[in-house]
Structure 1
């Protein structure tokens, strides 16, 4: 059976204070559905329309979420309701029922940092997450539009994004509380029935995403929107290494006719995967990360390591072709010194 609860409060979220000060995340009249069977999900989500685009907030929770850790909950945010898709109780059949929407080009999934969520969905359920609006990527594209330069390894957290008055302007102390509980007990998201804290934490991770999306859409220009779609596609593929070079994944987005007509011809962006000999990643990283940081500083490309969640023997490079090739050459040079 499914259950339903309502997060009630004094009304809709107030506007951020003009001074840019922070306020606690407010409650709102949002119905929260706990779903353990596909029939409890909205029909427009289960059967995406090719004529009408759907925009939802999206996130996943689990144990050490990655190819190896277990996915426990998928959160779907609609304008007036949040659906907590319980993968523990609903199992494989429930998650597979969500596959058409998660892979659909007609459903925009608004998510903050899609990489590990995509990896978990792909390796655990064979789902190729597609058509994401990654708010982490969008944030930095807007910063670039405004002439600001991003420092290497400068990744805005969801908490910091919500605190930004341009997008929401609210503090989120509960997030750190949940992180503390996860450090104490990695199985936090597996317990059933879900506690009030689990329900609140899971829903809060998505129910503000649609407002952030609207605010960001007001700022993103056509060029940034294209780069956002492209990088979102590459980020979804990032940790999902395949033997067929992603041949069966959705194709990369093409430049719009409007941008092409305006003469915009950006350099092709790619994802490159560099294999590192077993036990030699330390040479790539360097003491206290100095080596990898120096590569990031001289190459205008995103350089990501598989890390403890895996794959631990690979480096992922995303960016313009020339910058990616430059990063590859430097990293291969470091590996040559090994032999």
Structure 2
């Protein structure tokens, strides 16, 4: 039986790249209308997606509720970029350097738009974790999914404007390392492409950054609680001791692994502390 044809798209208001975050609001003239498709079958994908044209750039925003790979750490590219900008502007990195999407959206440097309905969605999700699996999606969930993506490109552009050449390169390196966290295989990521090389202009400047690596620690059964500690106290103390990002696997990722990303010496230091926490007391 043939799949149902794609339904007519909805439309959402997306900020223009030239819009000012200071005056950004839904009733301003700094928005353009873009289509929003709700796809439950491959046959419902729009033609522009299936047959892209080199003459018409296509930007697609996906909302993947339930994937949530950054549940226990900063994984998405925008959150990585945010921490780099904070470092670039001289702010000291905190042990739990993380900003939620709602916080990022409300930050007047990037968007300055409140997202009040998100809290209602979170309350309902706590009441019923399967809320995103029901079909058809409710109007509130459709709005929430749309709002989760319609500002992303605008925020991305504002961040790129702030990032220096050095920070952009670090973004590429850290982004590549973060992506490997939840793509575990048996060959130690040997088939992954190499990390981005240092650009020639930074080499010419004499810039010599510290090498950054990813370390994956396997946690024996029953030991994850010792690694995390009561209310996260143990893993927080490791973060305070080491200038490295530490991600804990969970329901949305490998549950028996800890991922450590950062300069080699800091990663090795974190490894030693975490392995010590796994030992029987």
Q: Flag whether TM exceeds 0.5 (same fold).
A: yes
Partner of residue 31 from structure 1, selected from 15, 29, 35: 35
Distance change in 2, residues 1:59/1:39 (3 Å): closer
Matches within 5 A, 1:199-214: 199-214=142-157
* 2:261 maps to 1:324: no
* Segment of structure 1 superposing worse, 308-317 or 199-208: 308-317
User: Within 2, Cα distance between the matches of 1:12 and 1:52?
Assistant: 19
* 2:208 maps to 1:265: yes
User: Within 2, Cα distance between the matches of 1:251 and 1:260?
Assistant: 18
Shift of 1:171: 0.4
**Please, what TM-score do these two structures have when normalized by structure 2?**
0.83
Shift of 1:190: 2.1
Query: In the alignment, which residue of structure 1 is the partner of 2:244?
Result: 301
Matched-pair contact (CA < 8 Å) for 1:275–1:314? yes
**SS of match in other structure, 2:38:** strand
**SS of match in other structure, 1:206:** helix
Between structures 1 and 2, the one with greater strand share: 1
User: Within 1, Cα distance between the matches of 2:250 and 2:241?
Assistant: 22
Shift of 1:39: 7.0
* 2:195 maps to 1:191: no
Matches within 5 A, 1:233-248: 233-248=176-191
* Segment of structure 1 superposing worse, 305-314 or 263-272: 305-314
Query: In the alignment, which residue of structure 2 is the partner of 1:227?
Result: 170
**Please, what TM-score do these two structures have when normalized by structure 1?**
0.70
Partner of residue 233 from structure 2, selected from 269, 277, 290: 290
* 2:278 maps to 1:274: no
Query: In the alignment, which residue of structure 2 is the partner of 1:109?
Result: none
Shift of 1:315: 1.1
The number of residue pairs the alignment matches comes to 269
**SS of match in other structure, 2:149:** coil
Query: In the alignment, which residue of structure 2 is the partner of 1:181?
Result: 124
User: Within 2, Cα distance between the matches of 1:24 and 1:318?
Assistant: 39
Matched-pair contact (CA < 8 Å) for 1:137–1:232? yes
| CA-atom RMSD in angstroms | 3.1
Gaps of 5+ in 2: none
Matches within 5 A, 1:76-225: 115=70, 134-225=77-168
Partner of residue 40 from structure 1, selected from 30, 42, 45: 45
Gaps of 5+ in 1: 67-113, 117-131
